Structure 1
Amino acid sequence: MYNNNNSSAPSSSSSSEAGDARSSAFNPCEPLRQPRTSPPVSDCGSGSPVSSNSGHNSSSVADALVKNSKLSAAAAEFIPGGYSSVQDDSYSDGSEGYYAEPSLADFVQDFVSHLNSSPGSFESEIEYITDTLNEWVTTEEILQELVELIYVQSTSIPNFAYTGARLCNHLSRHIRLSPANRNFRNLLLQRCQTEYNQRNQAVQGDPETKKKFHSYVLFLGELYLNLELKSRKGTPGRADVLLGALKELLNTLFSHPDDPNLMCAVKLLKLSGSILDDAWKENGQSDMDELVKKIEEILLDAKCSRDVRQMLLKLVELRSSNWGRVHTAAVSSDATPDNDPNYFMNEPTFYTVDGTPFTAADPEYSEKYQEILDREDYFPDAYEENGNESLCGDEDEMDPEIKEAFEKFCMESDARRKK
């Protein structure tokens, strides 16, 4: 609004502030500037007409504004300058839909998250996952991308290494695109080789680098246990190509015996130590003996924490007991109670009337078992016709004497097993 004098200056400071307020609310980015020239406006209150000169000036300014304007009356909508639309980001990839099409990385992340949260669904979901991936993987570049995505997920998500190795084993046999020397398995092994070549730098790196390296080591151990390759006889077998790599990785970890590296080595040997030991012995190699000697040297000289020292001691004990396996187990067809300590391992445990436990290995087994049968004859209603226990009693309750006898039996069993 202007004053009665044909001046371009605002009539008062209050008018200017009101104009600035409207301008700021309309466009928060920057206030509207004052026009350089303004058409004179007659005093509406006086009722005097506008002069011809004033009308000419007003028409000239209006024509100039229309000529320089970028606005169009045919536009679908009016968008102020500086306004950022959410849809601009949605359409930035040129797609026609409001949401962008999901990418291969999105699909891999989705099904990996599902398998990680529900690993028991692997068998029921893997066929759908494989079929969908086969629709995606149409070129070598996409196959390379898929390998990288699954490798990264398998080595970065905690506790996903086992499921990731199973996934890699399945895809290596069921991804249809398989160009010569560029199939899923070969690309995966090449990716692992790249990480293997950087082991000496990674094992001495910062904590984050070490963490990634340790995840890679454990994933490689899972791959050795789960990745199946056809042998010369045509039967599936383990990827023996990884045997030498795992040995060198263990040597690398033991060569830099700080707590994180030693803990990673212990985890790997607990995971695959028995299998590695058997494979090396089958090939006439004493690699596990050499690793145990290194562990013993570390126990004498290295300044590792008490907890890690205990882990190493228990690992040596585990290996000395043949990784917890019984040395003298006989062939199943030749097993007897005298030559196989595991003969009665799967036999059920019974209890006498006073709560004393016994199994088929007990010399008085026949007499004690007959007593149980005789006792059941006195209480025919204790069991239903189909052999299930009746609901007349609380099955969660246990007689104190029986409970004490059961605990004693468990302790004695543990003691015999440790011997």
Structure 2
Amino acid sequence: MKSAVFSPGEPLRQPRTTPPVSDGGAESRSPIPSGHNSSSAADALVKNSKLSAAAPEFFPGNYASFQDDVYSDGSEEYYPETSLADFVQDFVSHLNSSPGSFESEIDYITDMLNSCVTTEEILQELVELIYVQSTSIPNFAYTGARLCNHLSYHIRLSPASGNFRQLLLQRCQNQFEQREQAVRGDPETQKRFHYYVLFLGELYLNLEIKSRKDTPGRANVLLGALKDLLNTLFCHPDDPNLMCAVKLLKLSGSILDDAWKEKGQSDMDEIIKKIEEVLLDVKCSRDVKQMLLKLVELQSSNWGRVQTASVSSDATPDNDPNYFMNEPTFYTADGTPFTAADPEYSDKYQEILDREDYFPDAYEENGNDFFCGDEDEMDPEIANNSLKMFFLLVL
């Protein structure tokens, strides 16, 4: 490291042995003259040091940030000199490889995009670029949907043709109208169509639209589109289409079911009937049949829920049976397990606390369970073995 901040701290201690002698007999060169005390030695080090307090900030070698990849013109301000397409591809690749950096990088990415998107044509180009990336990169649908939701609120340009969210939904509508041709296309066309279906499912789960009461909700316009896409996939029941339908239902089936039930619709029951017809009439592979059967079982068990889950803020032990699902399990003195759902939880837990008070030193600082009893209470056999081990170590 060429630059760092030097802090002398305590005076340096003189070496206990003399410095090594070189082949020529001269003493090894040192910045500390012999005979100086430790204080003067420290002063000499400071005087001869090339370290600077104005050195740039140090980052570990494996540290990676998207902001470090932005091009610079040599000045102190960073801006993308490349095209918008290259810039979008760069930060999409970064988010795809490091999805955990989304929260820390998204504000910087948004600021850069706002500085670039200054016309209606550039905004339409941005929507197309992000749509293409979100529907062509494997496993990027979720991050792409989050990215679209964030940009729909933070891209400032809003021309008469529509803002970012409106243009994005129009682009999805264009692809939706071509679903019949895409589902019957060649394998590559089908693959892109399946990416689009899964992206639309993630978009329905993540895209927030504020209502008149300023409460964010899901885009209901996508609800009917997802039903039609499922019907299209089941009407062409080859293995890739069926697998795509299963993935979409495992991703959003419970949310779709709840939304349709709130509207008094039985759309999910119709979809389950289509699956049962496929299982009876279609000669699909055994693995796909197993996936469809598991999906029917999952739906019949209310998608694995005991009952419709309450909103987290309103959940109580009385109205949500999953309230204590992740609570830890404790044990009484006689080994009886209990959790926070137990009616006598408070009394039993207090009993454990009282019992631990009798043995305050029962646990070591490192968390290992180690009961320190009196030496008189040590088992004779253990004491004998310990004594033998001691003498072996000494010998």
Same fold (TM over 0.5): yes
Which of 186, 191, 201 aligns to 1:206? It is: 186
Unaligned runs of at least 5 residues, structure 1: 1-95, 384-388, 396-419
Aligned residue for 1:214, secondary structure, equals helix
For 2:254, the equivalent position in structure 1 comes to 274
Q: CA RMSD in A?
A: 2.8
Q: Distance in 1 between matches of 2:169 and 2:221?
A: 9
Work out the number of aligned pairs and report it. 292
1:227 to 193, 202, 207: 207
Contact 2:99 2:143 in 1 (8 A): yes
Paired residue for 2:149, among 169, 177, 202?
Answer: 169
1:318-397 map, 5 Å: 318-327=298-307, 341-342=321-322, 344-352=324-332, 356-362=336-342, 369=349, 372-383=352-363, 390-391=365-366, 393=368
> In the alignment, is the contact (CA less than 8 A) between 1:382 and 1:390 conserved in 2?
no
Give the deviation of 1:156 after TM superposition.
1.1
Deviation (angstroms), 1:103:
1.0
- Give the deviation of 1:356 after TM superposition: 4.8
Give the distance between the partners of 1:330 and 1:239, measured in 2 at CA. 21
Structure 2 CA distance for aligned equivalents of residues 277 and 328 of structure 1: 11
Which residue identity does 1:116 align to in structure 2?
N
Amino acid at match of 1:307: D
Deviation at 1:108, TM superposition (A): 0.6
Counterpart residue number, 1:124: 104
Alpha-carbon distance, 1:249 to partner: 0.4
Name 2:232's counterpart in structure 1.
252
Shift of 1:372: 3.2
What amino acid is the match of 1:114? H
Change (3 A) 1:126 1:370: closer
C-alpha displacement at 1:232, in angstroms?
Answer: 3.2
> Aligned partners of 1:101 and 1:345: how far apart in 2?
52
Equivalent residues in 2 for 1:11-50, closer than 5 Å: none
Hey, what's the Cα distance between the residues in 2 that align with 1:116 and 1:334?
A: 35
When normalised by structure 2's length, the TM-score is 0.67
Counterpart contact for 1:119–1:163, Cα < 8 Å: yes
Q: Does 1:112 align with 2:92?
A: yes
Distance (whole Å) between structure 1 residues aligned to residue 314 and residue 129 of structure 2: 48
Q: For the residues of structure 1 that align with 2:339 and 2:222, how far apart are their CA atoms? A: 44
The two structures have a TM-score, normalised by structure 1, of 0.64
**Of the two, which has the highest radius of gyration?**
1
Q: 2:274 aligns with which of 294, 315, 324?
A: 294
CA, structure 1 residues 354+281, in 2 after alignment: closer, same or farther (shift >3 Å)?
Answer: same
Aligned residues of 2:317 and 2:324 also touching (Cα < 8 A): no
Cα deviation 1:362-385 (Å, max 9, x = unaligned)? 5775675465345423421134xx
Aligned to 2:135, the other structure's residue is in SS state: helix
What secondary structure sits across from 1:380 in the alignment?
coil
Q: Quote the Cα distance in structure 2 between the aligned partners of 1:305 and 1:314.
A: 14
Deviation at 1:299, TM superposition (A): 1.0
Cα distance between partner residues in 1 of 2:271 and 2:160: 38
| 1:314-371 deviation line (CA, Å, top 9, x unaligned) | 111111121122228789979567x764454354311345655322445775675465
The answer to whether 1:138 aligns with 2:118 is yes
Residues of 2 paired with 1:182 and 1:298: CA distance?
41
1:151-195 Cα offsets, whole Å, 9 max, x none, are 111111111101101111111111111112332112111111111
Is this contact kept in 2: 1:257–1:302, CA < 8 A? yes
Task: Percent identity, please.
Answer: 84
Equivalent position of 1:15 in the other structure: none
Q: Distance in 2 between matches of 1:236 and 1:392?
A: 45
